[in-house]
Amino acid sequence: MTDLLVLGSGIAGLSAAIRAAEAGLGVTVLTKGALANTATSYAQGGVAAALGEPDSPALHRSDTLVAGVGLCDADAVDVLVEQGPDRVRELIALGANFDRAAIDGELELAREGGHSLARVVHAGGDATGAEIERALVAAMGRLEVDARERWFTVDLLVEGGAVVGVEAIAPDGSAHRIRARHVLLATGGAGQLFAVTTNPPVSTGDGIAMAYRAGAALADVEFMQFHPTALDVAAMPRPLLSEALRGDGAILRDERGVAFMAGEHPLADLAPRDVVARAITRRLVERNLSHLFLDATPIEDFATRFPTVDGAARAAGLDPAVDLLPIAPAAHYLSGGVCTDLDGATTIPGLWACGEVACSGVHGANRLASNSLLDGLVFAPRAVEAILDGRDGPLERGVLRGVLGRSGAPSAPITTVSSIGRATLQRAMTAGAGVLRDASSLGVLDATLPHDVAASTPAEHEVRNLVTVARTLVAAALARTESRGTHTRLDHPEPDPAFRSRLVQVRGAEPFLAPLPLPVETP
């Protein structure tokens, strides 16, 4: 039996595997594709961390809380911003090469939306995630880790109220039960819920669905962040036009060439993502357009600074130095997920979660740009430290206060199953639960989405998991009758103080509000 079974090989999973193997634990990693087939590899802009003067963890904290619109767990944010700089330095020591200034060799820092100053380290210009993934895979290769590619985890094994392993499908299609003292979910997000997304095909919410089926609590699943500026071309996933472009001077323009963000927010083009995504979507809907434009012509040396974006634009026949780039919002990052304490413990003993699959409360109602790589980097080793300290379950603090007593045993499997194709589900979710939602659009989904679908192959299990996560997202979005952060209800356009709480879901129960552990500063 392995000590730690890590599910997923992105920044969260590999950071945990490396820390655990260094500490002498027996580690197995299962990942459903090739090791580098992760959302992490796609990350462009970089990692946010207060690495030195004039920046500080306090400034990073305040930007994160503002972006989270009153729903961040302040304790979790403190952990993120205070431990982030050391984790970034360790990543550099491990071999990740971030961009440095030619003159003095200092790390180059970029500014992104919602950040009050430049604090984002990047690599290869806008190829940060690929460099981090490369460095982590190489570091893991130097350690004793049983890393298995193309192993699809189907479900968690629960015995006596604790998670004791997983059911998985091997590359040859055979079914296996793998037992472990601890299981760590690092399975990433669920952008594939929507027809237009920046997320790779692996981002199907498997970990969230597995945890939910096993009886773990989920939180804040209604907060899907839509990135405002995905290149509007036929490719899927949609090429992302990183926020760092606007940090370097790119400007959003409408179909008449008017720069409109100054009238929407004091930070204009560098406003938080939810504000920008709404401003764009409203114009698209009102004017019946498929896209607006990002004007990146003010950026000098575009191809050197943003080689990934330059390549994507040129593949579409566009030259960012002279052409306006067509953009539209795309599903990008799930702020909610499997509810954890500050050490990645879920509500079920033996089950841990970190990275995008988890909801520790750091992101609140809206993730601050470049805080998600940092999230995996900071919280994954904390889970390992908690395991090394002998813990096997949650502490009643952080986001789990008010949640633990409510989480139940896994309920009986749903027996009525139907079928739905991935593309049909994605179109329905985009129409009913996209950037702008209301009771009627969500009600259609609630009435028409299947409750469960039959599955035997990995591809079918992915659709089944998407259906499960779609249902939890719709239930939460219906229950949260307010607009806050990335959750915009056209029929409830204002934030409601009564909803300044985490919205928790446990299988077999109605969504309920759990108080945040500390009063959070009003942004």
Q: Which residues are catalytic?
A: 273
- Alpha carbon 459 to its chain centroid, in Å, reads 21
Q: How far is the CB of 170 from ligand FAD (least distance, A)?
A: 11
Q: Is 402 exposed, middle or buried (0-12, 13-18, 19+ CB in 10 A)?
A: middle
The answer to whether the beta carbons of residues 435 and 277 sit under 8 Å apart is yes
Closer CB to ligand FAD, 355 or 450, in the complex: 355
Closer CB to ligand FAD, 353 or 506, in the complex: 353
Token look-up 């004791």 returns 164
What is the Cα–Cα distance from 372 to 355, expressed in whole angstroms?
7
Longest dimension (CA), the chain: 65
145 to 5, 8, 33, 454: CA distances (angstroms): 10, 13, 17, 34
Q: How far is the CB of 181 from ligand FAD (least distance, A)?
A: 19
Closer CB to ligand FAD, 152 or 212, in the complex: 152
Closer CB to ligand FAD, 81 or 442, in the complex: 81
Q: How far is the CB of 95 from ligand FAD (least distance, A)?
A: 18
Q: How far is the CB of 390 from ligand FAD (least distance, A)?
A: 25
Q: Position 208: which residue type?
A: I
- Alpha carbon 125 to its chain centroid, in Å, reads 22
Closer CB to ligand FAD, 438 or 460, in the complex: 460
What is the Cα–Cα distance from 227 to 244, expressed in whole angstroms?
13
Q: How far is the CB of 497 from ligand FAD (least distance, A)?
A: 30
Q: Is 155 exposed, middle or buried (0-12, 13-18, 19+ CB in 10 A)?
A: middle
Q: Position 180: which residue type?
A: A
Closer CB to ligand FAD, 469 or 503, in the complex: 469
Q: Which of 9, 77, 99 is nearest to 368 (CA)?
A: 77
Under the rule (CB under 6 A), what is the footprint of ligand FAD? 7-13, 30-33, 37-40, 42-47, 128-129, 152-153, 186-189, 198-199, 202-203, 206, 240, 333, 355-357, 370-373, 376
The answer to whether the beta carbons of residues 470 and 429 sit under 8 Å apart is yes
Q: Which segments within 336-492 are labelled E, that is strand?
A: 337-339, 351-353, 358-359, 436-437, 488-489
Q: How far is the CB of 429 from ligand FAD (least distance, A)?
A: 17
Retrieve residue 123's tokens: 């690599």
